[in-house]
């Protein structure tokens, strides 16, 4: 016989489980509708359809597009069939979010001091030693910059990608924004959603440290806003040779205004508030901390941090004119592969959240769209196959036409102040 306290606890657990089941069921219905709606969109180039992921490549026809179809069509990472519950993208997302990499990674941290005395952290994945590979497919010694989501969460999927990159001979390093993941906040200034200034400084430093290596970058989720903004702003002077975005948020303002399902928004909001509360003293001179920590949505929090500041207040509209990820997409001159799922519960239905016209018109943007996979729940290892395919294509192209300028000039970057913080 259960005690009254036990009955209350049991009722609470059953209520939570019921709410979760209702949410998943509603999500399944919404996903089914999204998939049906998405079928009406342009089909793209199908490959791996039989027994595989059913991926399609949407892009402007080109020699590079044909090479990617041929190369990624052989990718074991796109064979699919490994996830036992394909109709539950929420569970797939939680798995990649929480599952730790095996074996455990060894990380060496460097702090990079920026021109305004702010700091960003670079976490170099340096071990375990048995994971360090010798390179393959022309990507040996390429530096791979891993960009977490805008909340700074380094997911299990991103760490697993770093581990696989290490095994294949890449030099993987994680970019941590100001105040994220233990990086000290030395100025009352965080990085706006689509301001690539700090990322540009980090890439200049990487070019200085590895002058002979190719620079590659991959971003996860909302962190793709930073990478896409950098590619647009830098244009043909980008220091990157190629880039990839996993489940990117293309239309950031619309995404903030629409909001996410509560199951995702509230934990993310709590995570952000916990991180910001550590720097309440430093941020108090710039923002209203009471209002910030009392935010009830991601939009409210973003407005408090970057629009309703004490020194330079601005409007929500003007903020997004300066920070929308695709504001300068027409200027991008580096190949970027965007891996998306039609059932992504965080980004929303492709018909209203994916700029398909951009992929049809730009020779540099490629959309790899899978029917299922959730948010950042697939594609991590396929990214490495993409970078290998890019290396093969560029080598063949250079033999025909001479070296391309992708990756930017190897000009001498400015001096930096940095030091090693710790190794774990």
Active-site residue list: 344, 375
Interatomic CA distance for residues 134 and 140, integer angstroms: 7
**Listing from the earlier edge strand, what are the strands of the sheet with 143-147?**
45-46, 56-58, 365-370, 336-341, 242-246, 215-220, 143-147, 171-176, 119-127, 106-113, 417-423
Asked if 285 and 188 touch (Cβ cutoff 8 Å), the reply is: yes
Asked if 299 and 257 touch (Cβ cutoff 8 Å), the reply is: yes
Q: Is 135 left (phi over 0), alpha (psi -120 to 50) or beta?
A: left
What are the CA-CA distances from residue 168 to residues 65, 261, 274 (Å)?
24, 37, 36
Q: Which residues have C-beta within 8 Å of that of residue 133, sequence separation ≥ 6?
A: 166, 167, 168, 169
| Nearest residue to 123 via CA among 213, 193, 202, 196 | 202
Tokens of 217: 């970058």
Tokens of 70: 């041929």
| Nearest residue to 156 via CA among 114, 122, 105, 108 | 105
Q: Which residues are paired to 367 by β-bridges? A: 58, 338
Which ranges constitute the DSSP H helices of 47-155?
A: 63-72, 89-98
Please report where in the chains the tokens 């992504």 appear, as a residue.
344
Asked if 359 and 388 touch (Cβ cutoff 8 Å), the reply is: no
Please report where in the chains the tokens 């001479």 appear, as a residue.
402
Interatomic CA distance for residues 227 and 219, integer angstroms: 7
CB neighbour class for 57 (10 Å; exposed up to 12, middle 13-18, buried from 19): buried
> Taking each helix axis from N to C terminus, what angle separates 63-72 and 380-401, rounded to the nearest 10 degrees?
140
């Amino acid at each position: 016989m259960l005690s009254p306290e036990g009955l209350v606890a049991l009722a609470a657990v059953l209520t939570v489980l019921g709410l979760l089941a209702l949410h998943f069921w509603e999500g399944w219905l919404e996903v089914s509708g999204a998939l049906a709606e998405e079928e009406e969109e342009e089909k793209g180039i199908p490959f791996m359809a039989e027994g595989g992921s059913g991926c399609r490549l949407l892009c402007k026809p080109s020699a590079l597009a044909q090479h990617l179809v041929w190369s990624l069509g052989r990718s074991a990472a796109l064979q699919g069939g490994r996830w036992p519950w394909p109709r539950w993208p929420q569970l797939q997302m939680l798995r990649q979010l929480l599952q730790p990499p095996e074996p455990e990674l060894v990380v060496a941290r460097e702090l990079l001091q920026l021109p305004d005395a702010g700091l960003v952290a670079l976490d170099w994945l340096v071990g375990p030693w048995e994971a360090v590979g010798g390179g393959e497919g022309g990507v040996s010694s390429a530096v791979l910059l891993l960009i977490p989501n805008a909340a700074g969460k380094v997911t299990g999927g991103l760490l697993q990608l770093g581990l696989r990159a290490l095994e294949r001979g890449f030099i993987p390093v994680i970019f941590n924004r100001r105040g994220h993941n233990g990086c000290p906040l030395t100025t009352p200034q965080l990085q706006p959603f689509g301001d690539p200034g700090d990322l540009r400084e980090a890439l200049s430093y990487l070019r200085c440290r590895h002058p002979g290596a190719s620079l590659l970058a991959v971003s996860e989720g909302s962190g793709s806003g930073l990478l896409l903004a950098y590619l647009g702003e830098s244009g043909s002077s980008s220091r990157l040779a190629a880039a990839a975005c996993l489940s990117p948020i293309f239309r950031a303002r619309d995404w903030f205004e629409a909001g996410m399902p509560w199951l995702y928004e509230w934990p993310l909001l709590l995570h952000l508030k916990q991180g910001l509360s550590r720097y309440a003293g430093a941020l108090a001179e710039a923002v209203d901390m009471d209002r910030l920590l009392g935010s009830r949505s991601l939009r409210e929090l973003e407005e408090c941090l970057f629009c309703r500041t004490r020194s330079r207040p601005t409007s929500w509209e003007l903020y997004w004119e300066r920070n929308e990820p695709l504001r300068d997409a027409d200027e991008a001159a580096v190949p970027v592969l965007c891996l998306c799922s039609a059932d992504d519960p965080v980004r929303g239905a492709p018909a209203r959240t994916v700029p398909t016209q951009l992929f049809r018109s730009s020779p540099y943007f490629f959309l790899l769209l899978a029917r299922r996979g959730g948010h950042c729940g697939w594609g991590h290892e396929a990214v490495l196959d993409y970078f290998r395919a890019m290396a093969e294509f560029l080598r063949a192209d250079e033999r025909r036409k001479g070296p391309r300028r992708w990756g930017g000039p190897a000009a001498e970057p400015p001096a930096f102040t940095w030091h090693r913080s710790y190794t774990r």
